[in-house]
């Protein structure tokens, strides 16, 4: 593959526009705060806080720029792909599992297999369940449900299952192991997560696009979040359905040939992947050494380094995943991602990477350290009164009248409005755009989509300080060398009692109370400014428990609630059927025999 490729005009213009928006907003915030802070005399703390505001605002504005760019264009089918063109590439659909419920996971495979069977190309596709399950009881269930899956789908010779004795290299190592032993049998591989679900037509279309562009090494879809039941899960599902397409469109405009890989719901060209993506263990112990945790970003960078196109086609529908149902599960997943992204500091200077891929690594790192900048700003603001120089009321020699410092409070208020604008305006604009384009109908109509948008803004404002606390703790743990390991994902309804929520968040309550008390004694004028952060922290057990309960509201309606697609309906039916009948064989004796 050619190692050199020129960026398109749209890509370049999009990147420059996003950077211009980000830098302009950051510079404006910096100077506004500097004027506000220096009204009573410029001191070192004013400069520190202005720099912290500059970094934080540039990050916020960068995110807002994605949405603004995304609203300017619409997702389009790529050129050069003939609709309904026949396909011929043999494709394996990889389903890595790690201590998952086999009934839920294998019923998704049955649904996808049934969906593929409605296309003329079912014979081209195989499934491979790649088990890294360490729990012998779950592994025994996997074997039994695999036999049921084979029997029900008549899948012998098409649906495979293997379990690794040692899960070296975690998920990336699991996939690598498959390619090393069986990769030569396939042209393409669709990489899924245990909770992924895709329409057969979408999978066929992905192969069609891979065949239409021989330089394409990886094709990523935007998975829609489905099946959320709890209030937290439904808010996330709604925001993913309404906002994510616009943010993703902005990203698609900027990516050029160096698109993202999010680890699942993506198709790779096997030859490209095996040639370019063999991941070594990083030197030294975890969290910064050892296996590459967030392997997907690295694999995308390696494919681009080898000259392959990595593309994100945001027009592809029919791609689904499930999300965490409560805030604590979200924070647990985020802890893993935090470690993975901070580990990328070791790869930032890997030889030959494209500049955009290095920038993507920086973005990932920034996503996790940004809360530290806000925390630093809050702490510096509490400490600032101790750094203020004495006010000189007679700065002009021989002038008999005192000169009072100008009141610059309006600038601080203006800055706060601007920062909240960067946070909320993109969401409101996307809501308005949904009404104007008719997309709101999928969300229950114009009134409901705006009500849901406003409710989501309030909800995310309440949960943001709690998530900031979890993220800050994650970053500090990683920096102190604590490895988070590879915890199993919690799936299911995710409901938490108040005492469970308290156990998971009592330290946040302590931080919140300590923070507001320190502010009251050291800088009482800041108390009203800090309340929106401190109050949710103090009430975090209530927020966590209450948001984990099942939602009975019409708010946060998403299009898939109103119009579930065929594969979602098929999965519901198969899952209900499998859950209503006894397990293929009594499970307890098996567990004993494997103990």
Partner 1 sequence: MLHSADLLRPEANVAASAQEIEALVATLGAPPAAPCIMPKQQLEPARAGRMSLLRLFGVRAPRPGL
Footprint of partner 1 (CB under 8 A): 1, 3, 92, 126, 128-129, 140, 143-144, 146-147, 150-151, 156, 160-162, 176, 178-186, 270, 274-280, 282-283, 292, 298, 302, 305-307, 346-347, 349-355, 358, 584-585, 589-590, 593-594
Between residues 282 and 535, which has the closer beta carbon with respect to partner 1? Answer: 282
- Token readout for 158 is 């098409």
Q: How far apart, in whole angstroms, are the C-alpha atoms of residue 130 and residue 149? A: 15
Between residues 270 and 496, which has the closer beta carbon with respect to partner 1? Answer: 270
Q: What are phi and psi of 314, to 5 degrees?
A: -80, 0
- Write the DSSP symbol of residue 550: B
Between residues 348 and 550, which has the closer beta carbon with respect to partner 1? Answer: 348
Q: How far is the CB of 549 from partner 1 (least distance, A)?
A: 39
Under 8 Å between Cβ of 224 and 240: yes
Between residues 182 and 461, which has the closer beta carbon with respect to partner 1? Answer: 182
Q: How far is the CB of 376 from partner 1 (least distance, A)?
A: 29
Between residues 93 and 116, which has the closer beta carbon with respect to partner 1? Answer: 93
Between residues 123 and 589, which has the closer beta carbon with respect to partner 1? Answer: 589
Q: How far is the CB of 455 from partner 1 (least distance, A)?
A: 44
- Token readout for 197 is 């679900």
Please provide the size of the chain in residues. 595
Q: How far is the CB of 538 from partner 1 (least distance, A)?
A: 43
Helix (H) or strand (E) run with residue 430 in it: helix 409-437
Between residues 127 and 556, which has the closer beta carbon with respect to partner 1? Answer: 127
Between residues 116 and 560, which has the closer beta carbon with respect to partner 1? Answer: 116
Under 8 Å between Cβ of 484 and 516: no
Q: How far is the CB of 521 from partner 1 (least distance, A)?
A: 48
Q: How far apart, in whole angstroms, are the C-alpha atoms of residue 11 and residue 25? A: 21
Q: How far apart, in whole angstroms, are the C-alpha atoms of residue 18 and residue 11? A: 11
Q: Is 91 helix (H, G, I), strand (E, B) or coil?
A: strand
Q: How far is the CB of 18 from partner 1 (least distance, A)?
A: 20
Between residues 291 and 324, which has the closer beta carbon with respect to partner 1? Answer: 291
Q: How far is the CB of 237 from partner 1 (least distance, A)?
A: 34
Query: Any idea which residue has 């196109």 for tokens?
Result: 309
Between residues 165 and 525, which has the closer beta carbon with respect to partner 1? Answer: 165
Per-residue burial over 156-178, b if 16 or more Cβ lie within 10 Å, else e, is: eebbbbebbeebebbbbbbbbbb
The CA–CA distances, whole Å, from 416 to 24, 28, 57, 68, 489 equal 16, 12, 11, 20, 37
Q: Is 219 helix (H, G, I), strand (E, B) or coil?
A: strand
Q: How far is the CB of 171 from partner 1 (least distance, A)?
A: 15
CA-only gyration radius of the chain, Å: 26
Q: How far is the CB of 563 from partner 1 (least distance, A)?
A: 36
Q: How far is the CB of 134 from partner 1 (least distance, A)?
A: 16
**Angle between helix 446-479 and 498-522 (nearest 10):** 80
Question: Of 323, 313, 236, nearest to 558 (Cα)?
Answer: 236
In sequence order, what are the residues at sequence separation of 6 or more whose Cβ sits closer than 8 angstroms to the Cβ of residue 167? 98, 132, 134, 173, 174
Between residues 78 and 183, which has the closer beta carbon with respect to partner 1? Answer: 183
- Which residues are 114's β-sheet partners? none
CB-count exposure of residue 540 (10 Å: 0-12, 13-18, 19+): buried
Q: Is 581 helix (H, G, I), strand (E, B) or coil?
A: coil
Q: How far is the CB of 568 from partner 1 (least distance, A)?
A: 27
């Amino acid at each position: 593959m050619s190692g050199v490729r020129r960026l398109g005009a749209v890509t370049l213009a999009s990147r420059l526009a996003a950077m211009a928006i980000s830098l302009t907003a950051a510079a404006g915030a910096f100077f506004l705060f500097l004027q506000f802070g220096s009204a009573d005399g410029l001191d070192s703390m004013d400069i520190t806080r202005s720099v912290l505001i500059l970094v934080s605002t540039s990050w916020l504005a960068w995110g807002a720029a994605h949405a603004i760019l995304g609203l300017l264009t619409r997702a389009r089918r790529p050129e050069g792909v003939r609709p309904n063109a026949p396909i011929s590439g043999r494709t394996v659909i990889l389903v890595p599992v790690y201590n998952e419920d086999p009934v839920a996971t294998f019923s998704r495979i049955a649904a996808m297999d049934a969906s593929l069977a409605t296309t003329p190309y079912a014979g081209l596709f195989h499934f491979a369940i790649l088990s890294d399950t360490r729990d012998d009881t779950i592994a025994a269930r996997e074997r039994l449900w695999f036999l049921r899956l084979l029997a029900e789908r008549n899948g012998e010779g098409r649906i495979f299952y293997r379990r690794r004795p040692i899960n070296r290299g975690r998920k990336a190592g699991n996939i690598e192991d498959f390619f090393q032993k069986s990769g030569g049998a396939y042209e393409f591989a669709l990489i899924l997560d245990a909770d992924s679900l895709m329409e057969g037509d979408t999978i066929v279309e992905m192969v069609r696009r891979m065949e239409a562009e021989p330089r394409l090494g990886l094709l990523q879809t935007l998975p829609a979040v489905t099946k959320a039941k709890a209030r937290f899960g439904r808010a996330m599902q709604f925001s993913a359905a309404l906002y994510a397409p616009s943010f993703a469109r902005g990203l698609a405009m900027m990516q050029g040939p160096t698109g993202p890989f999010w680890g699942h719901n993506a198709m790779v060209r096997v030859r490209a992947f095996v040639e370019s993506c063999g991941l070594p263990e990083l030197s030294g112990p975890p969290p910064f050494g050892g296996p590459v945790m967030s392997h997907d970003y690295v694999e995308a960078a390696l494919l681009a380094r080898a000259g392959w196109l990595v593309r994100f086609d945001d027009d592809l529908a029919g791609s689904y995943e499930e999300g965490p149902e409560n805030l604590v599960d979200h924070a647990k997943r985020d802890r893993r991602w935090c470690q993975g992204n901070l580990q990328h500091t070791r790869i930032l200077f890997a030889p030959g990477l494209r500049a955009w891929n290095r920038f993507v690594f920086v973005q990932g790192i920034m996503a996790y350290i940004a809360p530290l900048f806000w925390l630093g700003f809050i702490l510096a603001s509490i400490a600032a009164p101790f750094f203020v120089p004495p006010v000189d009321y007679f700065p002009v020699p021989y002038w008999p009248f005192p000169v009072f410092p100008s009141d610059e409070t309006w600038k601080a208020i203006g800055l706060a409005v601007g920062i909240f604008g960067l946070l909320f305006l993109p969401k409101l604009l996307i809501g308005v755009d949904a009404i104007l384009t008719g997309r709101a109908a999928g969300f229950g109509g114009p009134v409901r989509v705006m009500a849901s948008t406003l409710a989501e803004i309030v909800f995310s404002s309440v949960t943001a300080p709690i998530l900031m606390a979890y993220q800050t703790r994650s970053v500090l743990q990683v920096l102190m060398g604590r490895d988070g390991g590879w915890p199993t994902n919690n799936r299911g309804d995710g409901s938490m009692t108040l005492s469970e929520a308290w156990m998971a968040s009592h330290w946040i309550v302590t931080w919140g109370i300590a923070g507001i008390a320190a502010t009251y004694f050291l800088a009482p004028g800041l108390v009203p400014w800090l309340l929106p952060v401190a109050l949710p922290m103090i009430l975090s057990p209530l927020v966590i428990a209450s948001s984990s309960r099942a939602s009975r509201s019409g708010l946060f309606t998403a299009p898939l609630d109103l119009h579930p697609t065929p594969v979602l309906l098929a999965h519901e039916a198969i899952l209900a059927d499998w859950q209503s009948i006894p397990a293929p064989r009594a499970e307890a004796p098996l567990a004993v025999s494997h103990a």
